[in-house]
Structure 1
Amino acid sequence: MAERFVGGCLCGQIRFTAIGVPHNPHTCSCKMCQRHSGALTLAWVEFARDEVSWDGEGGMPKIWRSSQYSSRAFCPNCGSTLGEIDDAPVIALALGVFDSNSRQSLQPISHSYSINTST
């Protein structure tokens, strides 16, 4: 059964609603996720693009092209990390931006990349 998830940025300008089944809840410690979040590890959950609507007064987040297949999403007002919008029909949202981020269906079940300890 489809669930309803809501969340948004720190200032509240960018809000989203995701209706569906969350996919691939995971953590990642790659250098790109570290730089995007400012943390050593970032927790993500994915939804199909058509399951996510940007419904705050700020509309869609600002995006920055970060790779050949994806763009990072953030609030242009407060700078909050919101997620990643892939060229494939997937939007990965950072768990920290959900209003209720401790729901069982959002809990990470895998880890993508280890922390790079080389300099």
Structure 2
Amino acid sequence: MSKTPAARPKIHGGGCLCGAIRFQALGPAGKPHTCSCRICQRHTGALTAAWVEFASDKVSWTGPGGAPSVYRSSDYSSRAFCASCGSSLGAIDDAPVVALLVGAFDKPGSLEFKPTAHSFRGGRPKWWHVDIKAG
């Protein structure tokens, strides 16, 4: 009886604008969503941020700059960014979760990153529309 080798988890790579901070996230992306809260808006400079989550033990910082710099943005989370180029990378939560900004990935168009929900819809200007459709 032959054993079928276990499938390797998918590796999602990404990083900052200058390349000093690089990351690898293993496995399927969790909770793909967008957010229009003021913290996300100020962290990214965009009206809406797109996020995916990974367990913190599934994210490794692989670039020459090591782990990103962080700023404590709330009672439960810190925002991650590159100290060299200023690129926003995501949020490192007190819970064992790292939420990474979809735009920081090498392949941000992956269907796995397609948002399924939108948080803080009321935080967006009335002229800015985000349509999240299932499927």
Give the TM bin, normalised by the shorter chain. over 0.9
Q: Is the 8 A contact 1:40 1:115 kept in 2?
A: no
The alignment yields a C-alpha RMSD, in angstroms, of 1.3
Looking at structure 2, the residues matched to 21 and 89 of structure 1 have their Cα atoms a distance apart, in angstroms, of: 16
- Relative to the length of structure 1, the TM-score reads 0.95
Question: What is the identity, as a one-letter code, of the residue corresponding to 1:100?
Answer: K
Looking at structure 2, the residues matched to 33 and 67 of structure 1 have their Cα atoms a distance apart, in angstroms, of: 11
Looking at structure 1, the residues matched to 95 and 56 of structure 2 have their Cα atoms a distance apart, in angstroms, of: 8
Looking at structure 1, the residues matched to 26 and 121 of structure 2 have their Cα atoms a distance apart, in angstroms, of: 30
- Identify unmatched segments of 5+ residues in structure 2: 1-6, 126-135
1:74 aligned onto 2:84: no
The SS at the match of 1:11 is: coil
Question: How has the CA–CA distance of structure 1 residues 70 and 46 changed in structure 2, closer, same or farther, with 3 Å as cutoff?
Answer: same
**1:115, distance to aligned residue in structure 2 (A):** 4.2
* Matches for 1:1-119 after TM superposition, within 5 Å: 2-116=9-123, 117=125
Question: How has the CA–CA distance of structure 1 residues 12 and 115 changed in structure 2, closer, same or farther, with 3 Å as cutoff?
Answer: farther
Question: What is the identity, as a one-letter code, of the residue corresponding to 2:108?
Answer: N
Q: Which structure features the higher share of strand residues?
A: 1
- Identify unmatched segments of 5+ residues in structure 1: none
Question: What is the identity, as a one-letter code, of the residue corresponding to 2:112?
Answer: S
The SS at the match of 1:88 is: coil
The SS at the match of 2:86 is: coil
* Residue correspondences, number: 118
Name the larger-Rg structure: 2
After TM superposition, the runs of 4+ consecutive aligned structure 1 residues lying more than 3 A away are none
Looking at structure 1, the residues matched to 103 and 33 of structure 2 have their Cα atoms a distance apart, in angstroms, of: 13
- Relative to the length of structure 2, the TM-score reads 0.84
